[in-house]
């Protein structure tokens, strides 16, 4: 079978015969391209650049009650900001300010607005977020970009203002109650001093009673841990709306691995409470016991996370995190309650050693001890609340404007050179097609 060859002489003849037609068609295509390039409505682009604030968990050292509050930095922060920027919460107020008929405003959704006006970008590996607005005039593009910027910043401010505020509110209420309790106990002690005339019991009595001074701080810390984690459990209950989450929580309660760690945690807290009843926090055995409690808390957190992920239950990431926090906080609350019960038992045993003291001295020290416990509780609650507020500030969402909405000088569309180039390509394809058809016909005639 012979290979087909192209007879260039035939093509040359076609070009010689039709060159006027080709030239005329080229002029027509050029004219059409220029008309399109100069008649298409111009579009102007206004650009805005942000630097986003990465979201991270605050480290609250030395306070096991706060450990359950520390969230995780899930996913890419920039993608979160991009999703918020395209949300109805941000774009609906902007749509209402557009200079378009009311009927069009009612029909326009956030998705339609984003497709028509908005382009969002995040250079990979950076904390820079940019968006562009395309409109029919430079002023309109800049105005819409400014409105989007303002609405975006307002939405972030609202979201940051509501984050974890339920827990802070509950702890603030408990702090106020602790302050009132402290004031009442101070008044009771001062009143007793005036009535009994006892201001400084004998050194011997004081020495014997101060053997259990660790009870004050140990009980105060245990009560703060109980109050803090009870507040977390109550707050998470209102957020745990998913029915699947409640089913999964029931399964977690029967998980043998979790139950084993919780039992160890209860025993470890009781042991720590007994040691703190006798010794200060710097005593080696107390430090070792505290490290064991911290280790078990971390182990419980990790085990619950794995158990939640392993269950075949449809659950959002947010609901799974809330469920994990609730389970860990409930375990910490139970451990704190066990510590308090242990301390109460030890305190009752210690009372037997003080029976030989005078009634007045015993009551004086009891009132003084109540004041000390109330002071410790109030001070620790204040520190806990402030630490939570600091954590909220660290985890809050915020952006910094790098470049404000620009006023475009030149239009971004149409690209006239590009339109003419496309017209030239179309012209070339048509001419090639015409030559092919003409060549095929003449070859058949020759055959």
pLDDT, one tens digit per residue, over 261-271 is 888 888 888 88
Contacts of 322 (CB under 8 A, 6+ apart): 236, 239, 240, 245
**82 in the same domain as 34:** no
| Assigned domain for 261 exists | yes
Q: What share of the chain is helix, strand, coil (3-state, %, to 5)?
A: 75, 5, 20
Q: What is the CATH number of the domain that holds 105?
A: 3.30.1890
Rg (Cα) of the chain, in Å, rounded?
38
Query: Is residue 2 situated within a structural domain?
Result: no
Retrieve residue 59's tokens: 């480290």
Task: Report the pLDDT value the prediction gives residue 244, as an integer from 0 to 100.
Answer: 46
Question: 258 and 366 share a domain?
Answer: yes
* pLDDT bucket at 59, cuts 50 / 70 / 90: very low
* Secondary element (H or E) of residue 119: strand 118-121
Using DSSP, how many helices (H) and how many strands (E) does the chain show? 16, 4
Domain span at 15: 8-40+428-446
The b-or-e profile of 65-77 (16+ CB within 10 A means b, else e) is: bbbbbebeeeeeb
Long-range contacts of the stretch 118-124 (C-beta < 8 A, 24+): 118/85, 118/86, 118/91, 118/148, 120/82, 120/85, 120/86, 122/78, 122/79, 122/81, 122/82
CB 69 within 8 A of CB 390: no
Picking from 171, 298, 175, the residue whose alpha carbon sits closest to that of residue 235 is: 171
pLDDT of residue 358: 60
> Is position 193 within any domain?
yes
Instruction: Output the pLDDT for position 65.
Output: 41
pLDDT of residue 339: 80
Instruction: Tell me the pLDDT tens digit for each residue of 334-365.
Output: 888 888 888 777 777 766 655 545 666 777 77
Cβ atoms within 10 Å of 377's Cβ, excluding its own: 26
Are residue 377 and residue 436 in the same domain, yes or no? no
Q: Assess whether the previous peptide bond of 414 is cis (omega < 30° from 0).
A: yes
d(CA 139, CA 145): 10
Q: Which of 91-95, 133-137, 191-195, 263-267 has the lowest mean pLDDT?
A: 191-195
CB 279 within 8 Å of CB 210: no
Angle between helices 284-310 and 243-253 (to 10 degrees): 130
422 pLDDT above the threshold of 50: yes
80 and 215 in a single domain? The answer is no
Do residue 260 and residue 316 come from a single domain?
yes
DSSP 413: B
Q: Looking at the predicted structure, is the pLDDT value of residue 147 above 80?
A: yes
Burial class (CB in 10 A: 0-12, 13-18, 19+), 194: exposed
The answer to whether residue 241 scores a pLDDT higher than 60 is: no
CA 284 to chain centre: 39
Q: Sheet containing 118-121: which strands, arranged edge to edge?
A: 118-121, 128-135, 44-52, 399-403
Based on the fold, state whether residues 130 and 175 are members of the same structural domain.
no
Same domain, 36 and 109: no
Burial class (CB in 10 A: 0-12, 13-18, 19+), 324: buried
Are 341 and 211 in a shared domain?
yes
pLDDT at 2: 47
Q: What's the burial of 99, exposed, middle or buried (CB within 10 Å: 0-12/13-18/19+)?
A: exposed
Task: Calculate mean pLDDT across residues 189-207.
Answer: 68
Q: Which residues pair with 231 in a beta bridge?
A: none
Of 48, 136, 142, the residue nearest 413 (C-alpha): 136
Q: Are residues 118 and 152 in the same domain?
A: yes
User: Residue 68: pLDDT band by 50, 70, 90 thresholds?
Assistant: very low
Domain count, the chain: 3
Same-domain pairing of 298 and 187: yes
% of the chain exceeding 70 in pLDDT: 70
Same domain, 231 and 153: no
Q: Is residue 115 part of a domain?
A: yes
Residue 145: inside a domain: yes
Q: What is the pTM of this model?
A: 0.40
Mean pLDDT of the chain: 75
DSSP type of residue 35? H
Predicted local distance difference test score (pLDDT) of residue 166: 63
Examine the domain organization and report whether 107 and 242 are in the same domain: no
- Is the pLDDT at 191 greater than 80? The verdict is yes
Residue 410 lies in a domain: no
Q: Is 339 a domain residue? A: yes
Residue 408 lies in a domain: no
């Amino acid at each position: 079978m012979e290979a087909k060859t192209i007879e260039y002489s035939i093509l040359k003849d076609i070009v010689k015969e039709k060159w006027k037609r080709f030239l005329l068609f080229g002029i027509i295509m050029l004219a059409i391209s220029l008309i399109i390039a100069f008649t298409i409505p111009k579009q102007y682009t206004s650009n805005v650049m942000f630097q986003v604030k990465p979201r991270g968990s605050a480290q609250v050292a030395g306070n096991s009650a706060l450990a359950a509050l520390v969230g995780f930095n899930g996913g890419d922060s920039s993608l979160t900001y991009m999703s918020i920027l395209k949300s109805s919460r941000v774009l609906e107020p902007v749509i209402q300010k557009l200079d378009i008929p009311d009927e069009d405003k009612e029909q326009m959704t956030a998705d339609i607005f984003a497709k028509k006006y908005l382009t969002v970008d995040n250079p990979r590996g950076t904390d820079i977020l940019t968006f562009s607005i395309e409109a029919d005039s430079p002023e309109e593009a800049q105005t819409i970009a400014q409105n989007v910027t303002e609405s975006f910043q307002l939405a972030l401010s609202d979201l940051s203002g509501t984050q974890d505020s339920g827990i802070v509110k509950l702890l603030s209420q408990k702090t106020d109650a602790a302050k009132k309790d402290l004031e009442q106990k101070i008044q009771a002690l001062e009143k007793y001093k005036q009535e009994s005339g006892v201001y400084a019991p004998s050194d011997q009595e004081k020495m014997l009673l101060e053997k259990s001074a660790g009870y004050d701080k140990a009980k105060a810390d245990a009560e703060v841990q109980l109050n803090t984690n009870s507040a977390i459990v109550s707050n998470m209950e209102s957020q745990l709306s998913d029915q699947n989450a409640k089913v999964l929580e029931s399964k977690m309660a029967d998980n043998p691995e979790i139950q084993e760690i919780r039992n160890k945690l209860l025993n470890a807290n009781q042991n720590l409470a007994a040691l703190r009843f006798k010794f200060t926090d710097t005593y080696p055995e107390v430090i070792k016991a505290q490290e064991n409690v911290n280790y078990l808390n971390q182990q419980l957190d990790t085990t619950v996370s794995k158990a939640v992920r392993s269950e075949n239950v449809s659950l959002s990431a947010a609901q799974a995190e809330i469920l994990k926090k609730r389970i860990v906080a409930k375990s910490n609350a139970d451990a704190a309650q066990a510590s308090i019960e242990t301390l109460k038992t030890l305190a009752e045993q210690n009372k037997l050693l003080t029976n030989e003291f005078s009634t007045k001295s015993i009551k004086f020290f009891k009132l003084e001890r109540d004041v000390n416990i109330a002071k410790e509780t109030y001070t620790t609650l204040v520190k806990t609340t402030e630490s939570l507020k600091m954590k909220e500030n660290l985890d809050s969402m915020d952006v910094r404007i790098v470049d404000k909405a620009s006023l475009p000088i030149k239009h971004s569309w149409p690209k006239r050179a590009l339109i003419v180039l496309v017209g030239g390509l179309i012209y070339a394809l048509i001419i090639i097609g015409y030559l092919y058809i003409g060549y095929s016909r003449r070859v058949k005639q020759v055959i």
